Structure formats: structure tokens, C-alpha cells
């Protein structure tokens, strides 16, 4: 019965992958970012096909076992390149320099060749009977398999950490360019990374347990269920998500060179700037006036580029002024003005919080609550009650 459940979960996963792959490949012609995601789905498809192979096509089991190793070593690089494409400030495409990411995959192919080169009876004794191998070519293959799995574990951890760092820098970068980031923050990738880390850890532990003790540490049902959740999550968000800077770059150059995140790079850039302290103060006055007198902050799609065009000041000068003179970033600067505009409306209590949030430039109620709490230390309702309590005390 468990075999049938595992097979059903596996077939659902393969169906989802089969649905996504053609769409991703067709999009990849225009937006190369989708190609690594297609590779990620393809590699997961190979892994997910195990129950179908063993239960329905046992003659293909040798090929499946051989294919599982390079497939595992494709997951990390493919996911990393997808995230790199989503967060790139320039038009992203596959380049020769990316080939180094796939060296472990090549090693996996070599191990696959070694497995396919095993005599049938030796293959049977290693992977089905669990016989001890103590000499010759079969021992070399077993050692290579073990080392490949260790390589995959190290590679997986390396890419997960690298992606976390990349996303952290990317979100800081967004705050220097946009006032609203709901569709760009890639918050869903944090949940995906958690699922991926859990899935990979479970898969690695189970595979190593099988190889060393001939006993799977976890049932196949747990592994296939996690893989299904991963594939469905990536399918749901991956097909909807566009690169964060899409529409802001042309060819290989962005319309605006985004402020660098690393402090050393930022300092080098600003040291080359001709902006004096007096000029920075004038720019600060000008952008504050644009908010106070022209209500630019009420535009929900306001960006550094739009503000720069409106006040006729180079965007890097505005960014430097915000970062160094005003000690803030574009996101916090604009949203501070939005909250300032919202406060009297909250106190008046004539409109819903959602209506006020949209009216002052926010795209979502949740974003408004988050920024309002950050600026005032209170929720809108708490702020209103606090104001009324203070007013009543003053009157008494």
C-alpha cells in the first residue's frame, strides 16, 4: 500500500514538472533567468522518477541509479543561477564564466559512467543485495559514490549560504532604489530554502544510511512528500516571479547603476563623486520639498529614477545624499513621508486603515502596518488611542 502512495505522490510531482518545463523553456528565450529554473525542475524530475522506475520499469533501475548523482549535483548550481538572475541589476544571461559552477556535475557524470560500467551481477550485489565490496573496480566505484555524496552535501550547504547572503544584499539594494518592494523582495525564497534544506538533508541522510547500513533512515513517503511540496512551491512562485530589476535595464546596462551594497565599494564610488557638503544639503532640501510641496511620496510606484527625473538631479547624487547626509535610504525616506501624511488621517478615523494605506502610497495593508509600527512604535489603532488619551488628559 505504501508503494502505491509513494508512486502516486511521485507521479503528481512528475506531472507538475511536466507542466512547468515547457513554459519555463519558452520564457527562457526572452528572459534567460528561467533557464536555470528549468534545469532545477529537470533535475528534480530525475530524482522524483525513482518510484515509477523501480515499480513500473525495473529494467531501467541501473540507469536511474547512475543518473541520480549528476542530477543531485545540478540542483545547487541551477538554484544559485536562478537566484542570481532574479537579483541581477543588469540583464542576466548564461555566460562562459558560469561553466565553473557545473564542474561537480561533470564529476557526477563520471561516477555515472563508472556505475554503468559495473557488471550486472556486481551492480546487483552492491545496490540490491548490500554485499560487502573489499577490492577491485567495484570498490573504486563504491568509494567514488560515497565521495560524490559528501561533495553534494558540501555543495548544497555552500549554495544555501551563498543564496542567503545574496538575498540579504539584494534586499538592501532594493531599499536604495524603490519605495515599495512587495513584488520584488523574494520573501517566498526564504520558505523555499527551508524546504530545500530539509529535503536535501533528508535525502542525503536516507541515501547515506542506505549505502552504509542497508537501511533507509526515513521512509520514501516522507522524501517524496517533501519533494512534492518543493516542486509545487517553486512552480507556484517561480512561474509568477519576474526579475527584481526587470524593466530597469536595457541590453547589458541598467538605466541606473544601483548603489553598491558592500561598504568598501560604496565608499570608493562616493570618493570619486564631486558632490560637496553644500551641494548635498541643497539636494536634501530639494527632495524634501518635492515630498512636502508636491506630494511625490503618494505615488505608489515612486522610485529613485522617478525622483531623479522629477528634481533633475543624477540618481547617484540623491543616493549619496540620502546615505551620507541624511543617514537613511530611499525606501525609509519616502515611507517616512507617507507615515507623516497618514498620521492625521489615522487620528481622524474617517477612513479604513486600508484606504489610508493606499491613499498615502502603500500597495498593501501589511506593508503599511509594518512601516507604521517601525516609525511610531505602535499599530495604527494603538497610535489613535494613544493620541486620544493624551488629548483627553490635556483637556482634563
pLDDT, mean over the chain: 85
Does pLDDT of 255 surpass 70? no
In the structure, what pLDDT confidence band is assigned to residue 153 with cuts at 50, 70 and 90? confident
> What are the boundaries of each domain within the chain?
2-250, 261-395
Dist. CA 312–CA 380, nearest whole Å: 35
Task: Of 320, 335, 317, give the one whose Cα is nearest residue 375.
Answer: 335
pLDDT at 372 over 80: yes
To which residue does cell 541624511 refer? Answer: 326
Spatial contact of 97 and 45, defined as CB atoms under 8 Å apart: no
- Looking at domain 2-250, does it have CATH number 1.10.540.10? no
| Main-chain phi, psi angles of 254, to 5 degrees | -75, 155
pLDDT in tens, 347-370: 998 889 999 999 999 998 889 999
Mean pLDDT throughout 231-249? 84
Pick from 18-22, 34-38, 225-229, 262-266: least confident:
262-266
Instruction: Enter the C-alpha cell of residue 349.
Output: 478615523
Structure confidence at residue 215 as a pLDDT band (50, 70, 90): low
Instruction: Please list the alpha-helical segments (H only) found in the chain.
Output: 2-28, 34-48, 50-56, 61-87, 103-116, 120-127, 136-175, 188-213, 220-238, 263-272, 277-292, 304-311, 315-320, 330-348, 353-359, 365-376, 380-395
**Residue 11, pLDDT score:** 94
Look at strands 253-254 and 249-250 and give their pairing: antiparallel
Phi-psi region of 94 (alpha: psi -120 to 50; beta: other; left: phi over 0): beta
Report the range of poorest mean pLDDT among 162-171, 210-219, 385-394.
210-219
Output 90 or 79, whichever has higher pLDDT.
79
Residue 190 pLDDT: 84
Measure CA 15 to chain center: 24
- Residue 213 confidence class, pLDDT cut points 50, 70, 90: low
pLDDT of residue 36: 96
Q: How many CA atoms lie within 13 A of 87 on its CB side?
A: 24
**Confidence (pLDDT) at 289:** 95
State whether CATH 1.10.3720.10 applies to domain 261-395: no
Residue predicted with more confidence, 330 or 2:
330
More confident residue, 263 or 38: 38
pLDDT tens digits, one per residue of 12-69:
999 999 999 999 999 998 889 999 999 999 999 999 999 999 888 988 988 999 999 9
- Average pLDDT over every residue of 298-323: 93
Helix (H, G, I), strand (E, B) or coil at 317: helix
Residue 296 pLDDT class (50, 70, 90 cuts)? very high
Question: What's the mean pLDDT in 204-220?
Answer: 62
**Range from 44-48, 121-125, 149-153, 173-177 carrying the lowest mean pLDDT:** 121-125
Confidence at 244, pLDDT banded by 50, 70, 90: confident
pLDDT, greater one: 367 or 260: 367
DSSP 218-257: S-HHHHHHHHHHHHHHHHHHHTT---TTTTSEETTEESS-
pLDDT at 262: 38
pLDDT, one tens digit per residue, over 160-208 is: 999 999 999 999 888 888 888 877 888 888 888 888 877 777 766 776 6
- Position 107 pLDDT exceeds 80: yes
pLDDT band at 120 (very low <50, low <70, confident <90, very high): confident
pLDDT computed for residue 253 by the predictor: 42
Measured CA to CA, the distance from residue 309 to residue 52 in angstroms comes to 58
Amino acid at each position: 500500500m505504501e508503494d502505491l502512495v509513494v508512486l502516486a505522490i511521485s507521479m503528481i510531482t512528475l506531472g507538475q514538472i511536466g507542466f512547468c518545463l515547457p513554459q519555463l523553456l519558452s520564457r527562457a528565450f526572452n528572459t534567460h533567468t528561467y533557464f536555470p529554473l528549468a534545469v532545477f525542475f529537470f533535475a528534480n524530475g530525475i530524482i522524483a522518477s525513482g518510484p515509477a522506475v523501480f515499480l513500473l520499469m525495473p529494467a531501467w533501475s541501473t540507469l536511474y541509479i547512475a543518473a541520480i548523482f549528476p542530477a543531485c549535483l545540478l540542483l545547487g548550481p541551477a538554484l544559485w543561477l536562478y537566484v542570481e538572475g532574479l537579483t541581477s541589476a543588469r540583464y542576466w544571461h548564461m555566460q562562459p564564466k558560469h561553466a565553473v559552477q557545473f564542474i561537480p556535475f561533470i564529476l557526477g557524470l563520471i561516477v555515472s559512467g563508472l556505475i554503468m560500467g559495473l557488471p550486472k551481477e556486481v551492480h546487483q550485489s552492491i545496490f540490491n543485495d548490500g554485499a560487502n565490496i573489499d577490492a577491485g573496480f567495484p570498490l573504486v566505484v563504491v568509494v567514488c559514490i560515497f565521495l560524490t555524496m559528501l561533495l553534494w552535501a558540501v555543495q548544497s550547504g555552500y549554495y544555501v549560504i551563498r543564496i542567503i547572503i545574496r538575498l540579504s544584499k539584494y534586499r538592501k539594494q532594493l531599499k536604495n532604489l524603490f519605495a515599495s518592494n512587495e513584488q520584488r523582495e523574494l520573501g517566498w525564497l526564504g520558505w523555499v530554502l527551508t524546504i530545500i534544506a530539509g529535503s536535501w538533508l533528508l535525502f542525503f541522510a536516507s541515501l547515506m544510511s542506505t549505502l552504509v547500513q542497508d537501511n533507509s533512515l526515513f521512509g520514501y513517503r516522507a522524501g517524496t512528500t517533501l519533494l512534492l511540496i518543493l516542486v509545487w512551491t517553486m512552480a507556484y512562485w517561480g512561474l509568477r516571479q519576474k526579475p527584481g530589476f526587470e524593466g530597469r535595464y536595457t541590453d547589458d546596462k541598467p538605466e541606473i547603476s544601483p548603489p553598491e551594497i558592500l561598504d568598501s565599494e560604496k565608499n570608493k564610488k562616493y570618493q570619486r563623486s564631486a558632490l560637496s557638503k553644500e551641494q548635498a544639503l541643497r539636494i536634501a532640501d530639494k527632495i524634501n520639498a518635492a515630498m512636502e510641496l508636491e506630494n511625490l511620496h503618494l505615488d505608489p510606484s515612486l522610485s529613485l529614477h522617478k525622483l531623479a527625473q522629477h528634481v533633475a538631479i543624477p540618481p547617484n547624487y540623491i543616493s549619496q545624499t540620502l546615505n551620507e547626509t541624511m543617514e537613511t535610504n530611499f525606501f525609509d525616506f519616502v515611507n517616512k513621508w507617507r507615515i507623516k501624511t497618514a498620521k492625521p488621517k489615522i487620528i481622524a478615523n474617517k477612513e479604513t486603515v486600508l484606504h489610508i494605506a493606499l491613499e498615502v502610497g502603500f500597495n498593501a495593508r501589511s506593508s503599511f502596518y509594518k512601516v507604521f509600527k517601525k516609525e511610531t512604535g505602535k499599530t495604527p489603532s494603538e497610535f489613535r488611542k494613544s493620541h486620544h488619551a493624551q488629548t483627553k488628559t490635556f483637556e482634563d
